[in-house]
């Protein structure tokens, strides 16, 4: 349940319309996504808009579009919180991987396995423990670091992997994250500078603040988008007040 109070419904619908226009999707899809973010990351509606700002800014400053980045964030959902990784950091990783042409499903699976490996601690497999020993990392310490400073911990692992001789890199990554994750994690290794930049982008409110609103205003000013906007407005309000979110309305 999205836990949307009655008084917040119109604001929710309004944000869904703006996000739909900014992300080049429908208000209905945006509304569904926002509801999932609220639940998965335990966000208020204001927090949801901040996350949308971060995603939109990443889309405007890099090769991956906002729609693709938001899809990755939604697919990963609550696992980020369990692993100690904030939604903005997930978006930064998603933008880096998607920018290399990796599909959303593969990117999200890779990020999930990456986070699960780094937080495995004592439950790490024998192969994972051997790979971490090779990288001079302690699984238990790494799991603790993920809860304190996930960005620092993730970059430490990637920096260590980047120093491994190319001939051994794939084998070490396979042991750590599994074969199906290699195509998603490899772009993080080859684009470490971009990943750092994307982490910085989602950490600077002066940069990303109001990004979705600006994108919406820019797109809504065109005639074609005004027609889309009108349709989205009607759809968003009907969806928000309809069956999709009725169970989530608080009577309080």
Q: For 4-13, how does the pLDDT look when each residue is reduced to its tens digit (9 = 90+)?
A: 777 778 889 8
**CB distance 228 to 15 below 8 Å:** no
Q: Where are the alpha helices (DSSP H) in 6-138?
A: 9-22, 27-40, 45-61, 66-76, 79-83, 87-98, 104-118, 126-134
Q: CB of 116 within 8 A of CB of 83?
A: yes
- 62: region left, alpha or beta (phi > 0 left; psi from -120 to 50 alpha): beta
Q: What is the pLDDT of residues 164-191, one digit of tens each?
A: 999 999 999 999 999 999 999 999 999 9
| 16-55 residue pLDDT tens | 999 999 999 988 899 999 999 999 999 999 999 999 999 9
Q: Ramachandran region of residue 143, left (φ > 0), alpha (ψ -120 to 50) or beta?
A: alpha
C-alpha distances (whole Å) from 64 to each of 14, 31, 68 are 25, 21, 7
Burial class of 104 by CB neighbour count within 10 A (0 to 12, 13 to 18, 19+)? buried
Which positions ≥6 away from 58 have C-beta within 8 Å? 64, 66, 69, 91, 92, 95, 198, 201, 202
Asked if the model's pLDDT at residue 78 lies above 70, the reply is yes
The segment with the largest mean pLDDT, out of 22-26, 123-127, 215-219, is 123-127
Cβ-proximal residues to 75 (8 Å cutoff; 6+ apart), any chain: 104, 105, 108
185 HSE (CA, 13 A, CB side): 30
| Residues 5 and 249: beta-carbon distance below 8 Å | yes
Q: At what angle do helices 66-76 and 87-98 cross, to 10 degrees?
A: 130
Non-local CB neighbours of 61 within 8 Å, separated by 6+ positions = 201
Residue 242's pLDDT band, with cuts at 50, 70 and 90, is low
CA distance 157 to 118: 8
What is residue 145's predicted lDDT score, i.e. its pLDDT? 98
pLDDT of residue 222: 77
Entry pTM: 0.88
Higher-confidence residue of 210 and 82: namely: 210
Query: pLDDT averaged over the chain?
Result: 90
Find how far residue 37's CA is from the centre of its chain. Answer: 10
Q: Which of 82-86, 87-91, 134-138, 157-161 has the lowest mean pLDDT?
A: 82-86
Q: Tell whether the model's pLDDT for residue 243 goes beyond 80.
A: no
């Amino acid at each position: 349940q999205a836990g949307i109070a009655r008084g917040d419904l119109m604001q929710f619908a309004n944000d869904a319309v703006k996000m739909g226009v900014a992300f080049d999707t429908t208000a209905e899809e945006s509304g569904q996504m926002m509801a999932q973010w609220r639940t998965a990351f335990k966000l208020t509606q204001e927090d949801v808009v901040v996350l949308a700002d971060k995603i939109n800014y990443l889309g405007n400053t890099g090769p991956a579009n906002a729609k693709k980045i938001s899809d990755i964030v939604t697919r990963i959902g609550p696992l980020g919180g369990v692993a100690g990784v904030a939604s903005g950091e997930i978006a930064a990783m998603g933008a880096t991987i998607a920018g290399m042409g990796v599909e959303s499903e593969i990117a999200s699976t890779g990020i999930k396995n990456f986070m699960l490996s780094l937080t495995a601690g004592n439950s790490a497999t024998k192969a994972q423990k051997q790979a971490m020993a090779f990288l001079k990392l302690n699984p238990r310490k790494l799991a603790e670091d993920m809860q304190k400073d996930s960005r620092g911990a993730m970059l430490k692992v990637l920096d260590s992997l980047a120093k491994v001789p190319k001939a051994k890199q794939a084998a070490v990554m396979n042991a750590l994250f599994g074969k199906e994750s290699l195509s998603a994690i490899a772009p993080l290794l080859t684009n470490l500078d971009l990943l750092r930049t994307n982490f910085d982008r989602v950490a600077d409110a002066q940069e990303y603040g109001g990004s979705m609103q600006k994108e919406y205003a820019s797109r809504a000013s065109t005639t074609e988008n005004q027609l889309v906007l009108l349709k989205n407005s009607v759809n968003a309000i009907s969806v928000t007040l309809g069956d999709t979110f009725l169970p989530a309305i608080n009577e309080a």
